[in-house]
A and B are shown apart, each in its own frame.
Chain A
Amino acid sequence: MKQFRKMVYPYLVWSTIMIAVPMLLILLYAFTTQGNTVTKFLFTFKNFKRFLTDTTFLNVLYTSLRIAVETTVICIILGYPTAYVIAKFSEKAKLRWVLVITLPTWINMLVRTYAWTGILQDDGVINSFLSIFKIGPIPLIYTDFAVILGMVYNFLPFMIIQIYTSLTKMDYSLKEAANDLGAGPAKTFLKITLPLSMPGVISGITLVFLPAVSSFCIPRMLGGGSYVMVGTIIESQFLTAGDWNFGSAISLIMAIIIMISMYITKKVDKGEKVEGASV
């Protein structure tokens, strides 16, 4: 394998240029302000203070986190049973179902989300159908419901595939052992299957929560332009306001919040494992 090690270098160079340098730039911008004629950058905490002392911005942050958490929870509730059922199928059926689950992701996300705007309109498919029974029109588009629906729809496959993978990798003999020792189906599930599939759930949470909290195109399309999320504020700072320093500071605050929440989920996971082992 040693002779292949050199092959890694292009990738290292690539990731340095494409990932590390932009991150450092964000860091630089976040802690500086556009300087005067003498120096180009002035060190400051002003950008952070401006975000963290403004109730409007904090409310937006709260909304973003709330929507992301709700999306993640719904994805687990829908994704876990689906993954569980698929994992029980025969090998051939498994492959077919995984294909079905991933099929929508072959189409561009924007196109799929745009399709929902047509479905949810006041004169869209659902309301047209309801109007046959003289119901509605129920306001669907430009609501919390529409945004969460759009996010769950887009991110659910990531959750299902992660949980499915960890369920299929599980050692089946452990379940047999539990049954032999007299554990019922419910107890087997709670003590064996669930703890062993937790790594899948954790990485599923990562893959759903991250894009959900920073998303701005799904809220824009399904929530309307007045549906402001943190991603919207960051976008406007870079594109319209031209205040890259403030935009970078908000990005950094988001990055820190995400890192903390990832750390907590990892901790919770470990805690459960220790508990499971002691039983």
Chain B
Amino acid sequence: MKKKGLALVLMLFVLAALSLSGCGSKEKLKIYLPGEYMSDDLVPNFEKLYDVEVDVELFDSNEMMYTKIMAGDTYDVLIPSDYMIERLIKEDYLQKIDISKITNFSSITPALKEAPYNLFDPDNSYSVPYFWGTVGIIYNTKNVPFEKIQSEEFEIFRDTDFAGKIYFYDSERDAFMIPFKSLGYSMNTSNEDEIMDAYNWLVDVNTTMDPITVTDDVIDGMAQGRKDLAIVYSGDAAYVLSENEDMSYYTPSCGTNVWVDAMVIPKNASNPDLAHKFIDYVISYDVALDNTEAVGYASVNKDVLDTVTAPGGLYDGNEAYLPRTGYEKDEVFNDNEFLRKKLSELWIKAKAAR
């Protein structure tokens, strides 16, 4: 017992020492973003440039991030998705961005200042875009003819010719978006009949198609060519296409989910000044170029977009890289508590139905 007590005292000392060491001379910045979503050089370079210390934490999903910040963890910069930012604005969790401090703001590509991409925060009062993209179908051109993709679009995931050859995306929002769009509904519908139609569509997929339902495993799986068809985010598709030349990407004409992930500063941030500097740094030309080349998602900087898609650029001819803009049937997610709970329960049930 004595040893235990001693160990406890020692542990307390260590903890105290650790928390005290945080009060060093350097300024600190704490950022919280999705995993594998930033070039490895970005943070070290920023630290050197401003002589500061940056803590990076990673999350798996927007919902996980939300749970953590609501439990009281504080950060200076968060990078959530559109619908989550809409929710955080509604709940009065974010502080306004001082646009005069974001000197590179004029380089943001115009498409992001128009509907549907700007709907969650129409005049960028609270957020500065980070990456953006669409959700679409990635397919193996050797086994799936383009004509079939073009004529069936999302319905190809119910085409039993491809049973056992598909990946499905394991997130209720992305999963339900597919039948909503394919059936011609809005993906932000609150109509119970439409929701049940979509649910039955998904049960159909799960019972007849033997899909493998995964999240990030789809990237590796498609790069290795383990399956023929998958639902993916455009940025991940851009990476897969650069790894495996048999793969191609298709954005369905029935419309799809378009999205923006953006940088925001919480009200309780301890260093908002440095947070503004960081945001400005991230969207500057050189940094944004390196970042998009490392990660594969579409840059928000219009000059960077021009550079990488120009002949000879890294994403020249990569059909997944540049998101579709100005297409009426594309939508962004809205924050909707009723739909969130409903879809979460139905998705579990649809998966358990097999």
Chain A residues engaging chain B, CB cutoff 8 angstroms: 4, 7-8, 10-11, 56-57, 59-60, 117, 121-123, 142, 224-226, 228, 232-233, 236-243
Check if B145 is an interface residue, CB within 8 A of chain A.
no
- Interface pair B206/A241, CB less than 8 Å apart: no
Closest residue of A by beta carbon distance from B173: A240
Let me know if B348 and A232 touch, CB within 8 A. Answer: yes
Smallest distance from the beta carbon of B244 to chain A beta carbons, Å?
Answer: 13
- The residue on B at minimum CB distance from A7 is B5
* Chain A residues within an 8 Å CB radius of B172: 240
Residues from chain B with Cβ under 8 Å of A122 in the complex: 226
A225 touches B67 (CB 8 A): no
Of A59, A123, A240, the residue contacting B352 (CB under 8 A) is A59
Beyond A7-B5, A239-B67, is A226–B213 a contact (Cβ under 8 Å)?
A: yes
CB nearest neighbor in B for A54: B349
Contact status A238-B213, CB under 8 Å? no
CB distance from A247 to the nearest CB of B (A): 11
Contact partner of A236 among B5, B226, B348, B354, CB < 8 A? B348
- Starting from the known contacts A226-B170, A240-B171, 10 additional A-B residue pairs (CB-CB under 8 Å) come to A7-B4, A11-B4, A56-B349, A225-B215, A226-B168, A226-B351, A240-B61, A241-B340, A241-B341, A242-B337
State whether A240 and B340 are in contact (beta carbons under 8 Å apart), knowing that A7-B2, A224-B214 are contacts in the complex: yes
Closest to A241 in B: B344
Q: How far is the CA of A225 from the CA of B5 in the complex (A)?
A: 44
Chain B 308-321 interface 0/1 with A at a Cβ cutoff of 8 Å (1 = within): 00000000000000
28 CB contacts below 8 A, A to B, read A8-B1, A10-B5, A11-B4, A11-B8, A56-B348, A59-B352, A60-B352, A117-B217, A123-B224, A225-B212, A225-B351, A226-B168, A226-B211, A226-B213, A228-B348, A237-B344, A239-B61, A239-B64, A240-B63, A240-B171, A240-B172, A240-B340, A241-B341, A241-B345, A242-B337, A242-B340, A242-B341, A243-B344
Give the Cβ gap from A142 to chain B, nearest Cβ, in Å. 6
**A-contacting residues, B238-297, CB 8 Å:** none
Is there contact, CB below 8 Å, between B341 and A228? no
Hey, which chain B residues are within 8 Å of A232, CB to CB?
A: 348
Across the interface, which residues of A come within 8 angstroms of B63, CB to CB?
Answer: 239-240, 242
How far is B325's CA from A272's CA once the two chains are assembled, in angstroms? 73
Q: Is the CB of B212 within 8 A of A224?
A: yes
A118 to B, closest residue via Cβ: B220
Q: CA–CA, A122 to B217, complex, Å?
A: 14
Distance of A11 Cα from B7 Cα, bound (Å): 12
The complex places the Cα of A229 from the Cα of B303 at a distance, in Å, of: 48
A57 CA to B340 CA, complexed, in Å: 19
Residues of B within 8 A of A243 (CB): 341, 344
Output the least CB separation between A12 and chain B (Å): 12
**Contacts A4-B1, A240-B172: A226 and B354 contacting too (C-beta < 8 A)?**
yes
A251 to B351 Cα, complex, angstroms: 20
Cβ of B353 within 8 Å of any chain A Cβ, yes or no, is: yes
Closest to B164 in A: A139
Task: Give the total number of A-B pairs whose CB atoms are below 8 A apart.
Answer: 73
Complex Cα gap A111–B63 (Å): 24
Interface residues of B (CB under 8 A from A): 1-2, 4-5, 8, 61, 63-64, 67, 168, 170-172, 206, 211-215, 217, 224, 226, 337, 340-341, 344-345, 347-349, 351-354
Q: A10-B8, A240-B344 are in contact. Are A4 and B213 (CB under 8 A)?
A: no
Query: CA separation between A8 and B2, bound complex, in Å?
Result: 9
Nearest B residue to A60, CB-CB: B352
Asked if B224 and A225 make an inter-chain contact with CB atoms under 8 angstroms apart, the answer reads: no
- Which residue of A is nearest B171, CB measured? A240
The closest CB in chain A to the CB of B3 belongs to: A7
CB proximity of B40 to chain A, nearest CB, Å: 21
* A-B CB proximity, top 7 nearest: A225-B170, A225-B213, A241-B344, A226-B213, A7-B5, A228-B352, A226-B351
Point out which of A56, A123, A233 has the most chain B C-beta atoms below 10 A from its C-beta: A56
Inter-chain contacts of A237 with B (CB < 8 A): 344
Q: Which residues does chain B contribute within 8 Å of A240, judged by CB atoms?
A: 61, 63, 171-172, 340, 344
Bound-state Cα–Cα, A242 to B215, Å:
20
Tell me how far the C-beta of B2 lies from the nearest C-beta in chain A, rounded to whole angstroms.
6
A8 contacts which chain B residues (CB < 8 A)?
Answer: 1
Smallest Cβ distance from A155 to chain B, in angstroms? 24
Q: Which residues of A contact B168 (CB under 8 A)?
A: 225-226
Instruction: Provide the bound-state CA to CA distance between A56 and B350, in Å.
Output: 9
CA distance A226 to B352 in the complex (A): 7
B228–chain A nearest beta-carbon distance, Å: 12
Partner of A142, one of B212, B340, B349: B212
Closest CB in chain A relative to B193 CB, distance in Å = 20
Residues of A within 8 A of B341 (CB): 241-243
B213 adjacent to A224 (CB under 8 Å): yes
Cα A236 to Cα B337 in complex, Å, equals 15
Q: Point out the residues of chain A lying under 8 angstroms from B348, CB to CB.
A: 56, 228, 232-233, 236
Min Cβ gap A109→B in Å is 17
